[in-house]
Amino acid sequence: MGCRILVTDLDGTLLDRSGSVSIKNREAIGLARDAGIEVVFATGRSWLECRGISQDVLGAGVVISAGGAALHDVASGRCEERIVISHDLVSHCTESLIRHGHLAHLLKDSTQAGYDYLLVGDAQLDAASRWWFGVHPVTTRSVAQLNGDATERAVQLEHVLRVGTVAMASDLALVAESIRKEVPERLAIKHWPALVALGTAGIDTHLLEIFDGNVDKWSMIQRLCKLRGVDEKEVVTVGDGLNDAGMLSAATRSYAVANAEAGVAALAKSRAPDHDQSALAFVVGEILRDR
């Protein structure tokens, strides 16, 4: 069965170490589209954090953002699909992070909330997040704690796609384990090295991400397939990291780039070159050659 939708991760996959899309990859996206293949970005970034690259490279179509929590129209930014965390779980996770001494980052559906992050707690914003928020056109609001008034608290807790924080890896491992024990099987919890400069990840600085238990890039790909009337077997996926594991293992045809984490690479059906060697161009070449 051929490919009708090609889904690629951004950081560590489509983007090289400088955070750019190579000329070969850009040309390959054009060739794929000319062949009738829809190219979709699937990223852990929020919509605004990937809007610039999506509109520049794709121009039109859709992008899966926030690790699979949202599906946005590239041209307008309109949110087509989303999976938010329930108010009670947002509250629980936020208060747990604060108890452990961390600043809670509540990523919102900005198309509904009007801003991107609600930062909750007294802890200082970490250096990696200060850099990230400076690079991207995100807007933030800060509060010392969630409001005690039921109505205002509900406003703070609505439209939350992800609860997270950035801290030392050892600290976040303990926090993640604590939250997993408190609310088993209701949340998807991941943590891995955070980007601390364009194309680089901090060994000890980790990003903790907490989603509704149904959130995964592959789950949103399945929703997209239903919208498009496409068989899931006609999807090809490309990735490198932990939040790509689901789509690499589930897709009938999938590629892990050479720089992928070993455990993640083992889930893919095939291999592609390093992200610094125009990996997506290689994948598109494979797909078109097999037609």
Cβ-contact 164, 210 below 8 angstroms: yes
Give pTM, 2 decimals: 0.92
Domains and CATH numbers, the chain: 5-82+215-289 (3.40.50.1000), 87-212 (3.30.1240.10)
Cβ-contact 102, 165 below 8 angstroms: yes
Single-letter amino acid, residue 266: A
Mean of pLDDT over the chain? 92
Q: What is the pLDDT of residues 21-37, one digit of tens each?
A: 999 999 999 999 999 99
How confident is the model at residue 148, as a pLDDT?
81
How far apart CA 278 and CA 127 sit, in angstroms, is: 30
**Span 58-69, average pLDDT:** 97
Partners of 106 in the β-ladder: 118, 163
Residue among 141, 96, 90, 134 at smallest CA distance from 118: 141
Q: What is the pLDDT of residues 190-239, one digit of tens each?
A: 876 655 444 444 557 788 999 999 999 999 999 999 999 999 999 999 99
How far apart CA 223 and CA 217 sit, in angstroms, is: 10
Q: Please identify which residue in the block is written with the tokens 């600290």.
A: 171
How confident is the model at residue 197, as a pLDDT?
45
Between 183 and 78, the more confident residue is 78
How far apart CA 92 and CA 112 sit, in angstroms, is: 22
Q: In a 3-state reduction of DSSP, which class is residue 165?
A: strand
Q: In a 3-state reduction of DSSP, which class is residue 23?
A: helix
